[in-house]
C-alpha cells in the first residue's frame, strides 16, 4: 500500500469540501505506520473514513472521492449495458463444497486487471462457470454465485463478500435534516424556554457557589430562587385535506410538545387550511377557543407555532365567506386573523411539512410575508426555535406586518 496515491486522497477530499485537517491526516498515517490497518482496501477504507469524516452526511461524498482516487467502482461504459442484460434472470446451481473450499481471493490489482480482460473478451452470457462474468458459479465476476472475494456486477448483495461493485451507484447520502421521531423533536423543542428567578423559595446555586469559593479560597455557599421556565407556548395545527399525508409528522411534533413538562403553559389547537374566528381543541381534555379571546388574553411574550402546508384556495385567505367549509361563512378574511396573531405574538413561526422548493404557491408566498417559515424537519425545528428566542427587531416587525412601509418611507424621503 506504500505506492498508493495517498496525497491525491487528501487533496481530493479537501477540494470536495470535506474539512480534513493535517492532524486528521497524520492520525491516519500513524495508524498505517503502526500496523493498525490491515493491508487491504476494505480495512483501509473503513478506518480512513472513520478518521477523516466527522459527519455521517458526508460518507457518500467520501466514498466518491475514494473511488475516484483508488480506481472507479464502475466498469467501462460500452460493455455495461450488454453485460447487465446478460446477468438478468440469474441461474442457481448446487456447487461442490470441496471445490468451493479451494477458492482463493485474488489481490485487488490482479482482480481488476483480469476483470477488464474478461469484459474485452466476453461475447455472450455465461452461467455457472468459474471464468466469465456470469451468475450462479464460482467466477469472481458477476452475481448470485459463490466466491470469497470478487467484483459484483449488477444484482444485489447476498454473500457480502464482494470487494467492489461494478454498477451504477444507488446509494443515498445521509440527510441531516430528515424528520425522525417525537424524541428528536422534543430535544429540538426543549431549547424553547424563558428562565426567571421570581420565586420566594431558595435553593443552592451550585455554579455560583463554586465560583465564589474559588475566588475567596474559602467555602462560600450561595442560595437563590430556583430558575423556573416561564415559557408559554401555543401550538396551532392545520388538519385534514392536503395535510393528511403529513399527519404522522405533525402527530410526532404534537406528541413531543405535549410530553415536555418544563413549560409554564402549553396550549394546542387545530384549524383547517387557515385560521378564522375560532380554533378547535387538539386534545380531548381541552375545549375550543375564540381566536380573539386567545389574542386578548395571552401575553405578548407567548411563543406561537403554527403548522400547516399553507396550501389553499386564494379565496380562503383573502375573501369574506371564503372558508373551505361552505356553511362556515367567516365574516373576517383569514389573512386578517393571521395579521392579528402576528401582531400580538411577535415571537411566532410557521412550520411547513412541504419541502421548501414547493413553497412557491400564491397563498404560501403571502403567508411567508407575515410569518418566518421553516420546514417541518429536525433542523427546521431547531432553526425555528432559534428564531423564537431572538429578540424581535421592531423595524423588521413593522416591515413584515406592513409590506408597503418601505415604499412609503422612500416616497417621503424624495
Please say if the pLDDT value at position 122 is more than 70.
no
Query: What average pLDDT does the chain have?
Result: 75
This prediction has a pTM of 0.52
Contact 261, 333 (CB under 8 A): no
Please say if the pLDDT value at position 73 is more than 50.
no
Beta bridge partners of 135: 127, 143
Average the pLDDT over 52-67 and give the result: 78
Question: Could you give the residue ranges of the DSSP H alpha helices within 167-205?
Answer: 182-189
User: Where is pLDDT greater, at 24 or 7?
Assistant: 24
What is the pLDDT, as a whole number, of residue 30? 87
Residues 320-346 as b or e (16 or more Cβ within 10 Å = b):
eebbeeeeeebeebbbebbbbbbebbb
**pLDDT single digits (tens) 319-377:** 888 888 777 888 999 999 999 999 999 999 999 999 999 999 999 999 999 999 999 99
Contact 202, 232 (CB under 8 A): no
Distances 299 to 69, 172, 189 between C-alpha atoms, Å: 60, 46, 20
Please say if the pLDDT value at position 164 is more than 80.
no
Question: Cell match 409554564: residue?
Answer: 264
Measured distance CA(276)–CA(338) in Å, rounded = 8
What is the pLDDT, as a whole number, of residue 108? 59
What is the percentage of the chain residues whose pLDDT exceeds 70?
A: 61
What is the pLDDT, as a whole number, of residue 238? 93
User: Where is pLDDT greater, at 409 or 337?
Assistant: 337
Amino acid at each position: 500500500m506504500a505506492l498508493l496515491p495517498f496525497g491525491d486522497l487528501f487533496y481530493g477530499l479537501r477540494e470536495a469540501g470535506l474539512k480534513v485537517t493535517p492532524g486528521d491526516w497524520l492520525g491516519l498515517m500513524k495508524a498505517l505506520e503502526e500496523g493498525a490497518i490491515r493491508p487491504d482496501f476494505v480495512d483501509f477504507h473503513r478506518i480512513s473514513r472513520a478518521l477523516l469524516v466527522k459527519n455521517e452526511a458526508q460518507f457518500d461524498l467520501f466514498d466518491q472521492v475514494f473511488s475516484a482516487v483508488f480506481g472507479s467502482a464502475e466498469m467501462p461504459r460500452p460493455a455495461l449495458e450488454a453485460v447487465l442484460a446478460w446477468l438478468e434472470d440469474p441461474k442457481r446451481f448446487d456447487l461442490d463444497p470441496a471445490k468451493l473450499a479451494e477458492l482463493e481471493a485474488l489481490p485487488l490489482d490482479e482482480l481488476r486487471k483480469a476483470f477488464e480482460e474478461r469484459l474485452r473478451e466476453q461475447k455472450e452470457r455465461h452461467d455457472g462457470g468459474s471464468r466469465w462474468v456470469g451468475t450462479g458459479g464460482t467466477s469472481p465476476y458477476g452475481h448470485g454465485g459463490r466466491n470469497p472475494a470478487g467484483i459484483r456486477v449488477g444484482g444485489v448483495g447476498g454473500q457480502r463478500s464482494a470487494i467492489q461493485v461494478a454498477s451504477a451507484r444507488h446509494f443515498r447520502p445521509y440527510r441531516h435534516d430528515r424528520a425522525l421521531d417525537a424524541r428528536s423533536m422534543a430535544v429540538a423543542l426543549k431549547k424553547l424556554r424563558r428562565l426567571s428567578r421570581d420565586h420566594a423559595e431558595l435553593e443552592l446555586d451550585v455554579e455560583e457557589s463554586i465560583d465564589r469559593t474559588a475566588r475567596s479560597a474559602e467555602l462560600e455557599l450561595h442560595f437563590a430562587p430556583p430558575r423556573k421556565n416561564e415559557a408559554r407556548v401555543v401550538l396551532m395545527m392545520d388538519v385534514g385535506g392536503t395535510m393528511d399525508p403529513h399527519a404522522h409528522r405533525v402527530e410526532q411534533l404534537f406528541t413531543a410538545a405535549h410530553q415536555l413538562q418544563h413549560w409554564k403553559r402549553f396550549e394546542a389547537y387545530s384549524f383547517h387550511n387557515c385560521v378564522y374566528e375560532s380554533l378547535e381543541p387538539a386534545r380531548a381534555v381541552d375545549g375550543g377557543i375564540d381566536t380573539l379571546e386567545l389574542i386578548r388574553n395571552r401575553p405578548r411574550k407567548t411563543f406561537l407555532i403554527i403548522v400547516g402546508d399553507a396550501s389553499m384556495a386564494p379565496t380562503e385567505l383573502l375573501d369574506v365567506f371564503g372558508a373551505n367549509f361552505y356553511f362556515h361563512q367567516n365574516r373576517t378574511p383569514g389573512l386578517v386573523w393571521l395579521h392579528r396573531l402576528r401582531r400580538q405574538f411577535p415571537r411566532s413561526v410557521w412550520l411547513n411539512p412541504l419541502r421548501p422548493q414547493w413553497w412557491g404557491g400564491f397563498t404560501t408566498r403571502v403567508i411567508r410575508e407575515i410569518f418566518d417559515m421553516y420546514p417541518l424537519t429536525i433542523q427546521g425545528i431547531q432553526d425555528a426555535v432559534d428564531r423564537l428566542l431572538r429578540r424581535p427587531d421592531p423595524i423588521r416587525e413593522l416591515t413584515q406586518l406592513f409590506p408597503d412601509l418601505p415604499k412609503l418611507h422612500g416616497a417621503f424621503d424624495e
